[in-house]
């Protein structure tokens, strides 16, 4: 059976001008003519293109990003995100990067998007007079769209030569039924991922990770015409161009580029779309796993004995990475090995959470991570340092100065069991607040967190103990806020050298805990909340405590002999 197919064939080289005329070639093809194409020729449901209007000074935009990404994660092959930085919240100031585009601002203005975050699901007007909807509707409207049939299928693929930065984007469309209107438009959006930058919300300051960021509309703001929309029309477009070194001064990274293509009815109503991460050519090595970064580790409480590192691995080789034996240690101690498995395509990155590793605390600690040897070993290892905070007195002084928005400021202190110990705020404007805080004990790790609900910091803040040991200090440039870990003696006191020979073992303990060389002393055991769960006076030189009925977890053993005090942290584990 011979079918008349409209085959739109054109290979374009993108210039400064966005005028890209499209050629029309009528050809006779059977269904087999499309066997080597990338687009499906069988009817499909619509794919969702979520265009999100966002900005770098938008408190609630990270919430919108999370909703959109959850939608994408649940439908990875059917939902495609385009984050458009436009409008007032996208205006840079004070050296901020400029993520805006002319096309993005034009799209925002055309549809009248004036609240942020907001977005459009396939530019469809679900109710009222505008397709722009709030983030609370995205998930339900996307689900509705995914259940609808589409009269055109879209597919896209792309390659980038890492040596020349030449990018080739190939888009195909196939009409499985007659279009609803006579003229459709092909649109291709170029996006960049993993761009670190400021964000008022998100609690990450200038290190917020911006994803799916629109940097260019390859086909211009409103796309290029597809003159025929009759059944069996085949659209085949290729765009070849050189990626610039930067977009508005923000560096372009070939490994972070993404493409979303869609076909729309005029400037509105996206029928369906597709997306692609480029493949890469010009890569020298076949196997090259790179330790791209080690996530910074905040200051740890001196009593902490383990951390759970987070690293980012990038594949700089041509072949995918599917398995790695990752070795890591702290302060040169016994190394741990984590056998990671997965799939990291060429030039892509993946964040890996390493299992917890124990260590002996030092004032400054060094974490070392090493990947297995491959074609390039110079990028296989890295280190990061983190401090241990000194143990402070349990009596603290918090001095906090508010700015003109004191009502945005909060603070709290939690113990190692995440129990809220102390809290404060909101406060008045332009005030100095001095709080005297007494921690309940026992010797424990605590977390002090300063918060600004608007995400732009406030006045200066200083937390120290009564001996002047500084726990946290800031001039007010703390963004949304951040946590600080520290250890405090509580009301158990400090260890005394006269009790150096006293031993507490085994640790961890299962059923019996031994106390040796503490004859005539008193012992008391506290749980992690500071509650006394056991006590005895005038113990023998070799005393045993039955802990078989204790709950699994951390405890503190306080041994008192006159004025001398010794505190040991133990773990009950079975």
Domains of the chain in start order, with CATH, are 3-281 (2.60.40.10), 289-389 (2.60.40.10), 391-488 (2.60.40), 497-572 (2.60.40.3080)
| DSSP β-ladder status, 553-561 and 364-370 | unpaired
Residue 109: strand, helix, or coil = helix
Token pair for 357: 């590793």
pLDDT at 194 over 80: yes
Distance CA 102, CA 331 (A): 51
CA torsion through residues 330, 335, 336, 340, sign: positive
Average pLDDT over residues 288-304: 90
pLDDT at 487 over 90: no
- Which pLDDT belongs to residue 175? 97
CA dihedral 124, 126, 129, 130 (to 10 degrees): -50
Under a CB-based contact definition with an 8 Å cutoff, are residues 108 and 88 in contact?
Answer: no
- Which pLDDT belongs to residue 496? 60
Q: What is the average pLDDT score of the chain?
A: 88
pLDDT at 497 over 70: no
- Which pLDDT belongs to residue 499? 77
Cis geometry, peptide bond prior to residue 426 (ω within 30 degrees of 0) = yes
- Which pLDDT belongs to residue 334? 95
Strand ranges in 176-218 using DSSP code E only, listed in sequence order: 184-192, 195-197, 208-210, 213-217
Count the neighbouring beta carbons within 10 Å of the beta carbon of residue 209. Answer: 13
Where helices occur in 75-181 by DSSP H, the ranges are: 102-111, 138-146
Q: How far is CA 196 from CA 72, 140, 203, 206, 208, in A?
A: 21, 30, 13, 7, 5
Token pair for 274: 């597709």
Distance CA 304, CA 80 (A): 43
pLDDT at 46 over 70: yes
Using 50, 70 and 90 to split pLDDT, how confident is the model at 160? very high
Task: For 355-389, write each residue's pLDDT tens digit.
Answer: 999 999 888 999 999 999 999 999 999 999 999 88
pLDDT at 59 over 80: yes
Cis geometry, peptide bond prior to residue 336 (ω within 30 degrees of 0) = no
Beta bridge partners of 409: 452
Task: For 453-485, write each residue's pLDDT tens digit.
Answer: 877 778 999 999 888 888 999 998 887 778 888
Angle, in degrees to the nearest 10, between helices 61-74 and 138-146 = 30
Q: What is the CA radius of gyration of the chain?
A: 31
pLDDT at 442 over 80: no
pLDDT at 12 over 70: no
Distance CA 556, CA 494 (A): 12
Beta bridge partners of 452: 409
Distance CA 250, CA 122 (A): 28
Average pLDDT over residues 286-293: 96
Token look-up 């009759």 returns: 230
How far does CA 355 lie from the centroid of its chain? 19
Average pLDDT over residues 229-251: 97
Distance CA 568, CA 521 (A): 15
pLDDT at 305 over 90: no
Cis geometry, peptide bond prior to residue 352 (ω within 30 degrees of 0) = no
End-to-end CA distance of the chain: 74
- Which pLDDT belongs to residue 528? 59
pLDDT at 57 over 80: yes
- Which pLDDT belongs to residue 393? 85
- Which pLDDT belongs to residue 164? 96
Average pLDDT over residues 431-447: 84
Under a CB-based contact definition with an 8 Å cutoff, are residues 565 and 572 in contact?
Answer: no
Helix (H) or strand (E) holding 252: none
- Which pLDDT belongs to residue 529? 56
Count the neighbouring beta carbons within 10 Å of the beta carbon of residue 200. Answer: 21
pLDDT at 65 over 90: yes
- Which pLDDT belongs to residue 555? 81
pLDDT at 271 over 70: yes
Task: For 68-119, write each residue's pLDDT tens digit.
Answer: 999 999 999 999 999 999 999 999 998 999 999 999 999 999 999 999 999 9
Distance CA 243, CA 100 (A): 17
- For residue 315, give every residue at least 6 positions away whose Cβ sits within 8 Å of its Cβ, in sequence order, or none: 288, 289, 290, 321, 344, 345, 346, 347, 348, 349
pLDDT at 321 over 80: yes
Count the neighbouring beta carbons within 10 Å of the beta carbon of residue 459. Answer: 22
pLDDT above 90 covers a percentage of the chain that reads 64
Token pair for 303: 């009593």
- Which pLDDT belongs to residue 554? 75
Average pLDDT over residues 303-327: 94
| DSSP β-ladder status, 310-315 and 289-294 | antiparallel
CA atoms within a 13 Å half-sphere pointing along the CA-CB vector of 124 = 19
């Amino acid at each position: 059976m011979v079918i008349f197919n409209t085959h739109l064939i054109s290979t374009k080289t993108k210039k400064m001008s966005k005028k890209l005329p499209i050629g029309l070639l009528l050809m006779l093809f059977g269904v087999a003519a499309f066997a080597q194409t990338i687009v499906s020729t069988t009817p499909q449901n619509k794919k969702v293109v979520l265009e999100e209007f966002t900005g770098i000074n938008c408190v609630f935009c990270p919430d919108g990003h999370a909703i959109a990404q959850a939608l994408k994660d649940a439908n990875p092959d059917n939902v495609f995100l385009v984050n458009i930085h436009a409008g007032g919240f996208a205006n840079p100031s004070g050296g901020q990067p400029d993520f805006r585009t002319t096309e993005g601002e034009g799209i925002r203005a055309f549809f009248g998007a004036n609240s942020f975050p907001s977005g459009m699901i396939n530019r469809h007007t679900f109710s009222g007079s505008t397709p722009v909807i709030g983030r609370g509707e995205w998930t339900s409207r996307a689900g509705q769209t995914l259940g609808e049939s589409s009269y055109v299928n879209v597919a896209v693929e792309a390659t980038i030569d890492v040596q020349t930065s030449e990018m080739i984007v190939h888009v195909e469309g196939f009409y499985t039924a007659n279009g609803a209107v006579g003229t459709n438009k092909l649109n291709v959006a170029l996006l960049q991922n993993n761009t670190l930058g400021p964000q008022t919300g998100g609690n990450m300051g200038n290190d917020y990770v911006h994803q799916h960021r629109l940097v260019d509309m390859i086909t211009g703001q409103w796309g290029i015409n597809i003159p025929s929309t009759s059944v069996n029309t085949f659209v085949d477009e290729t765009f070849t161009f050189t990626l610039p070194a930067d977009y508005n001064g923000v560096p372009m990274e070939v490994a972070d580029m993404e493409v979303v293509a869609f076909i729309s009815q005029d400037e509105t109503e996206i029928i369906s779309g597709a997306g692609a991460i480029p493949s890469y050519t010009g890569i020298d090595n076949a196997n090259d796993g790179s330790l791209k970064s080690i996530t910074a580790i905040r200051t740890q409480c001196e009593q902490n004995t383990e951390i759970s590192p987070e690293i980012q691995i990038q594949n700089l080789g041509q072949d995918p990475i599917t398995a790695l034996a990752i070795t890591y240690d702290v302060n040169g101690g016994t190394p741990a090995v984590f056998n990671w498995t997965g799939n990291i395509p060429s030039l892509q990155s993946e964040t890996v959470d390493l299992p917890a590793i124990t260590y002996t605390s030092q004032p400054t600690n060094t974490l070392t991570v090493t990947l297995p040897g491959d074609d390039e070993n110079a990028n296989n290892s890295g280190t990061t340092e983190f401090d241990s905070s000194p143990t402070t007195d349990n009596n603290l002084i918090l001095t906090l100065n508010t700015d003109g928005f004191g009502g945005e400021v909060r603070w709290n202190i939690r113990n190692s069991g995440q129990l809220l110990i102390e809290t404060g705020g909101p406060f008045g404007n332009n005030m100095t607040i001095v709080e005297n805080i007494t921690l309940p004990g026992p010797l424990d790790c605590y977390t002090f967190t300063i918060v600004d609900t608007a995400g732009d910091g406030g006045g200066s803040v200083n937390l120290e103990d009564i001996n002047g040991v500084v726990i946290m200090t800031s001039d007010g440039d703390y963004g949304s806020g951040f946590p600080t870990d520290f250890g405090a003696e509580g009301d158990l006191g400090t260890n005394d050298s006269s009790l150096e020979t006293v031993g507490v073992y085994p640790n961890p303990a299962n059923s019996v805990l031994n106390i040796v060389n503490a004859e005539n002393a008193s012992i008391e055991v506290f749980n992690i909340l500071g509650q006394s769960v056991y006590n005895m006076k005038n113990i023998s030189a070799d005393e045993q405590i039955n802990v078989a009925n204790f709950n699994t977890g951390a405890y503190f053993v306080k041994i008192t002999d006159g004025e001398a005090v010794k505190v040991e942290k133990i773990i009950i584990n079975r």
